[in-house]
Amino acid sequence: MALPGAPAPAPAPAPAPAPPPPPTVLMAVRAGLARPSRLPPLPAAAALRLQLSVEPAAGGQRRFRLGLRHPEAAGGGNVAEYDLKDISYKVRGPTCHELTVLGSSDEPMVFNFEEEREAQKWWTIVSSSLREVQKASDSMLASQASSLPAAAGGVSADQDPEAAPFLELSEKEDLALHLAQAIEYGDEEVASQCAVALARQQATLSILLKESNYPTDDISMKVGVEDATSSASITIRVRAHTTIATLKQQVFQDYGFHPLVQRWIIGQCLCVDERTISSYGIRRDGDTAFLYLLSAKMAELTEQRYEEDQARVMLSSTSSPTDVAGERRKYNTLPNMSPKKGWGNESGRKMDIGEISQHLDTLQIGDLFSAQPKPAATSLPSPVQAGWSCPKCTFINKPTRPGCEMCSTDRPDDYVVPGSYKPDETELWRMQQEQEGILQYQQALEAERLKNFQQLLQMEEEVLVPNQEVLECRICYQQVAPGEGVLLRECLHNFCRECLRQVINYSEEPEVACPFRDDCYACGSHLQEREIRALVSPEEYRQFLERSLVLAERRSQNSFHCKTTDCRGWCIYEDSVNEFRCPICQALNCLLCKAIHEGKNCRQYQDDLQVQAQNDSAARQTNDMLQTLVQIGEAMHCPTCLIIVQKKDGCDWIRCTVCQTEICWVTKGPRWGPGGPGDTSGGCRCNVNGQRCHPRCQNCH
């Protein structure tokens, strides 16, 4: 009992609140402070230890803080600490970063790192944390904007344009929720109205079934894991609603195999991330899936991308203070990431980002499973599968398969089937079917070849090869129906019959050239003799032969034509022969005098010619006139037969009427070299290397 006037007894002290959990240090690095600032005095070396940490905050959020501390040698005291939402952190160079305090007039702090790799890892963690802070800030602003009623002093979208996007987003979310509820309760009218409203706003949706639609039982899924060199068999505990993307993230978080290098194949289908394993047929214990691991180079996975994604996994693992990995372990039989020889990580310590990225390109699945503890006696190890690895999808095929079973890539040329390999019944049946298919293909190919050979023989017996489809004649540019044109045998060019007939009739050469020409090509083939005979009439063919004989006579050096008027007889003589008796008119021609003087010898004939020339005034005048024309340049001697030729008008390219020699008028010499038409080694060489043959050349030949 208390005495009067005595003070009342003090109430019992309240129980002390539980201390908050300590912050989790994500990463710490050493850096030098390069630019002066208002920080407390530092040691002479100006070395700091930058530390990034995260701790739980109110509302289920996380609070990221960046601290500047003294080095361990100086006591490790705290210099300054900033909330990530209050600073701006930028990269100025490979080893130079800049920190600016928002709303402060202080100059930015510049940090220099000793190693570029360490600076890059630090920036990966900081940038991931900054993005997490920005996402949390955006979601908080959106929730605040949607919760402010207009009647309570809130600002409407019409009054504040900045709030309009958040209000529109809130409206879309409400429509999406109403759509999901209408579908769940079977209200088709409300579901269609919500769907139309979302379509008008062009909202991006992701429609997935809830987990309650799937069976809740766990499934023991057998997984065959392979890479380019080895294979193994494992078992994973999954559920029907597990998506392929979730499966990839689980393997990535436990073992560091990035989702980009994982290729899941179930039921001979390459799985996509959005679908669940139940949609591919995984519904009961013992169902099989295959996981193929690509190299980082083949998956186009960069080291920076790997480090950033690994940092996100590390950040997400700090959201719950309990060990989530241990809880998930009971749902799968994947081996732990135990330390490997040569990797240098301590017992019980997780590998850091640098160690994982350094070995990602050379990581082999065989090394991963070499550290797996030996299973019980009831579980025999999976033997290494014999066969060749596909260079494209890494699937290990049976040794006798000529191509990949998954992607049809050809078997490597340097692979040799092991001599001890014995194919099973399925493989023997496949090989038998393959041999029968090859035999049938060879028989069909031989029949096709025989058919083509028979068609070629039939076409060879025909005089002209008709066109098989509609064509356009390159001479008259008229459409030619099938069978109305001609396909030339030597060059396979098509023309109509009438155009080819005109080409033959106007040809001055004994060999008729193909008339095909375009801007960059001229065909050098010729028409065959049987084609020429079939395209023209008998009279036209006789005239063609006569023109050919005349041209052959003119181009022969030792040719002589009978001097009898209108006689067609001619011969090719040798130097030892002086006389030629024409087989047509039976006249005796003197090859020395180039005349017929029967009853006279050559001396008597030449004397008679001189007497006639002296006594014939007309002959003298003609001779004098010709010599005058030659002197003044209006006539010239043929460079081959020496007769006098004269050009009346036209082109400088003329032809001797006696020996048919092509002559350049301005140079008074032959147009071509000894090889005939086209030989530019001699002659006037007009337009060779772009040069004209004479200053007065008209460039017409």
CA distance 485 to 352: 80
DSSP 74: G
H helices, E strands: number in the chain: 14, 28
- The helix (run of H) or strand (run of E) holding residue 630 is helix 617-632
DSSP 123: H
**Cβ pair 181, 195 in contact under 8 A:** no
Q: 């006139």: which residue's tokens? A: 625
Task: Kindly give the pairing relationship between strand 262-266 and strand 231-238.
Answer: unpaired
CA distance 19 to 12: 21
Q: Which residues of 154-179 are buried (b: 16+ CB within 10 A; e: fewer)?
A: eeebeeeeebeebbeeebbeebbebb
**Cβ pair 397, 423 in contact under 8 A:** no
**Cβ pair 1, 17 in contact under 8 A:** no
> Residue 58: CB partners within 8 Å, gap ≥ 6?
none
**Cβ pair 600, 579 in contact under 8 A:** no
Q: 């058919």: which residue's tokens? A: 451
Q: 């609603």: which residue's tokens? A: 241
Task: Kindly give the pairing relationship between strand 219-226 and strand 288-293.
Answer: parallel
> Residue 585: CB partners within 8 Å, gap ≥ 6?
562, 564, 567, 569
Phi, psi at 619, each rounded to 5°: -65, -40
**Cβ pair 409, 374 in contact under 8 A:** no
By the 10 Å C-beta count (0-12 exposed, 13-18 middle, 19+ buried), 306 is classed as buried
How remote is the C-alpha of 649 from its chain's centroid?
63
**Cβ pair 69, 49 in contact under 8 A:** yes
Four-point Cα dihedral 544, 547, 553, 556, nearest 10: -80
Given 407, 476, 602, 651, which residue is catalytic?
Answer: 651
Using alpha carbons, list the distances in angstroms from residue 563 to 259, 583, 590.
101, 13, 9
**Cβ pair 510, 544 in contact under 8 A:** no
**HSE, side-chain direction, 13 A CA sphere, residue 646:** 11
Four-point Cα dihedral 463, 467, 471, 477, nearest 10: 10
Task: Kindly give the pairing relationship between strand 588-590 and strand 579-581.
Answer: antiparallel
651 is catalytic: yes
Identity of the amino acid at 139: S
DSSP 53-80: EEEE-GGG-EEEEEEEE--GGGT--EEE
Q: 């050469």: which residue's tokens? A: 509
Q: Apex CA 187: angle with CA 181 and CA 191, to 5°?
A: 65
Q: Apex CA 291: angle with CA 288 and CA 292, to 5°?
A: 140
**Cβ pair 485, 492 in contact under 8 A:** no
**Cβ pair 198, 172 in contact under 8 A:** yes
Q: Which residues are catalytic?
A: 651
